[in-house]
Amino acid sequence: MNDCRTVRVLPDVPAIDKTFDYLVPGNLGGQVRVGSVVRVELHGRRVGGRVVADGVEPPPGLNLLPLAKVTGWGPPPELIELASWAAWRWAGRPASFLGTATADRAVTRLPTAAARPPEASVPGLPEVQAAARDAVGSVTGGGVATLRLPPTVDMLPVVVEGAARGDTLVLAPSVVAAKHLGMRLRRAGLPTAILPNDWPLARAGCSVVVGARAAAWAPVRDLSTVFVLDEHDEAYQEERSPTWHARDVAIERAARAGAGCVLVSPAPTLEALGAGRLFTTSRGFERSGWPVIDVVDMRHEDPAKGLLTDRVTSALRSGARVVCVLNRKGRSRLLACATCRELARCERCESSVTQDDAGLFVCMRCGQTRPAVCEKCGSTKFKNLRVGVSRLREELEALAETSVVDVTGERSAGDGDARVYVGTEAVLHHLRHADVVAYLDFDQELLAPRYRAAEQALSLLVRGARLVGGRETSSSSARSMGGRLLVQTRLPQHEVVQAALLGDAARVAAAENERRTALGFPPVTAMAAVSGAAAEAFIDSFGAPLGVEVLGPSDGMWLLRAPDHRTLCDALAAAARPPGRLRVEVDPRRI
């Protein structure tokens, strides 16, 4: 019986990282290929899985079971191999990556592959087209290029330049951005599959495949070029474990296919700058693609006015559309008694408390709530030392004499027709345009206790720049307050502020490279964070492999640091995992 066709299946079961051999029934033979999604009997129950090898020789003496069902099409063979690499690279399981590489719904048949059209042409700025042509041309046949373009530049001509050379995969930082770009590519005459809905079309063969982070695993027939647009965006990294990064998957995938990979960003990360040659436009053009920046030095402002300085007040009363950004939710993030000036703290854990919409004090550390009464003197009057978005909205309404919409990760911008908005950075994702974007407390971003704080702060300015447009747009506008970023800071000479002011992102890269080299942070080193109930047992059994440094614990988390990813990932792959909840976060974002 074992002379029949045999396939190897990886079950789609999180706790199982082992493959099993099954026979292919004759009536299913034409539907089974490497990557096919199947159902199999395993330990008395039927589970899903994917065929990872065909025509295998099973171990002798086994009585193999047949496949129970073929569900439909799955990822092509090259993605099966890529999943094995990714499981090593991010200390995960291949099944989790193959799940991302598979359509959300069963695909039983594929549409007819679209014929490749004549070369498309779209209008674009000569400097952008020349830089894109140079970058794409440099990676023809393989390699990585980093293309730094101003934040307000249209990406369509860049993608079209790559699509002219063969089948192209394009990654965008969000599903909304991918859909918008995909529709424009279709209008330009290019057959385009927009993921996730067009997975069958991509699997059948399409000139351009566009999607968000998961599209790094999209099927592409004859891959020629991969674009990662806004490479700096943190949305490209998966927050759940395994914490894979779409940029790194794209680079590895392109290398395996002999294709080129172009990383496009107005503020490339150090990882992107180290991956390949940098291409830019002229300094004058790059600077014109950044908006006018008004820097308010808070050291010279009246402390009594708090965050609402005269510059903010002028913008609010000018009739312009203003977006105020403050990455602090709630009403109050730090309060002091108005009578005795004692800080309001939690009676249980002594952490500072916030004030909710009902007026109660809430501890963000332990969740304890209590009435808003000073523990020292009994007063019920408190001063806001650090306001949150909800309280700030009330102050802005009084100042602007109009309704103000507050936007956080939990609350949207509604219909988007208001004149004044305030919110966390989420507000920058919900709106399409603004006249003024005011960062009310930018020092909170510059001084954040994260090693990527400078890159993340610059990314925040990039997002605001796209709402207001570049210098050329603002100079031709009749609105006197239009097209500006207002940055309030006590660090006006910080490299992030100066980079935006001068339209020169290289300033941040230079300072960051020097800083991380001195401190031993990525990409100079490779790091992983280990946490969870089983973390201590894992660290005890992990030992100290050659070249891997174990740091911690701190708040129940250990850091593993190695000179490169090969050393780190080999050590993690060789380590035995104890039972219990364990999170291994390779390339942690927030340390």
From the CA atom positions of the chain, what is the Rg in Å?
27
Per-residue pLDDT tens, the chain, 591 aa: give them.
Answer: 445 899 999 999 888 889 999 999 999 989 999 999 999 999 889 999 999 999 999 888 889 999 999 999 999 999 999 999 999 999 999 999 999 999 999 999 999 887 776 677 788 889 999 999 999 999 999 999 999 999 999 999 999 999 999 999 999 999 999 999 999 999 999 999 999 999 999 999 999 999 999 999 999 999 999 999 999 999 999 999 999 999 999 999 999 999 999 999 999 999 999 999 999 999 999 999 999 999 999 999 988 788 999 999 999 999 999 999 999 876 656 677 888 878 788 887 677 787 777 788 888 667 789 999 998 898 998 877 677 888 899 999 999 999 999 998 666 666 678 999 999 999 999 999 999 999 999 999 999 889 999 999 999 999 999 999 988 644 333 334 448 999 999 999 999 999 999 999 999 999 999 999 999 999 999 999 999 999 999 999 998 889 999 999 998 999 999 999 999 999 999 999 999 999 999 999 888
pTM over 0.75: yes
Grouping H, G, I as helix, E, B as strand and the rest as coil, residue 276 is coil
The runs of H, that is alpha helices, within 188-245 are: 199-204
Euclidean distance between CA atoms 24 and 299, whole angstroms: 74
The C-alpha atoms of residue 259 and residue 292 are separated, in whole angstroms, by: 39
- The structure tokens listed for 423 are 């919110």
6-100 fold: GIY-YIG endonuclease (3.40.1440)
Q: Do domains 126-287 and 292-330+388-514 have the same CATH topology?
A: yes
Pick one of 3.40.50.300, 3.30.70.360, 3.30.1490.20, 3.30.413.10 as the CATH number of 292-330+388-514: 3.40.50.300
CA distance 51 to 40: 11
Delimit the domains of the chain by residue range: 6-100, 126-287, 292-330+388-514, 525-586
Output the CA–CA distances (angstroms, integers) from residue 225 to 1, 236, 271, in the order listed: 45, 18, 19
User: What DSSP line would sit under 300-352, residue for residue?
Assistant: GS-GGGTT--HHHHHHHHTT--EEEE----SSEEEEEETTT-PBPB-TTT--B
Both tokens of 61, joined, read 């003496």
Superfamily name with CATH number, domain 126-287 = P-loop containing nucleotide triphosphate hydrolases (3.40.50.300)
Find where tokens 């559309």 sit.
Answer: 321
- Indicate the SS3 state at residue 121: coil
Tell me how far apart the alpha carbons of residues 30 and 542 are, in angstroms, rounded to a whole number. 46
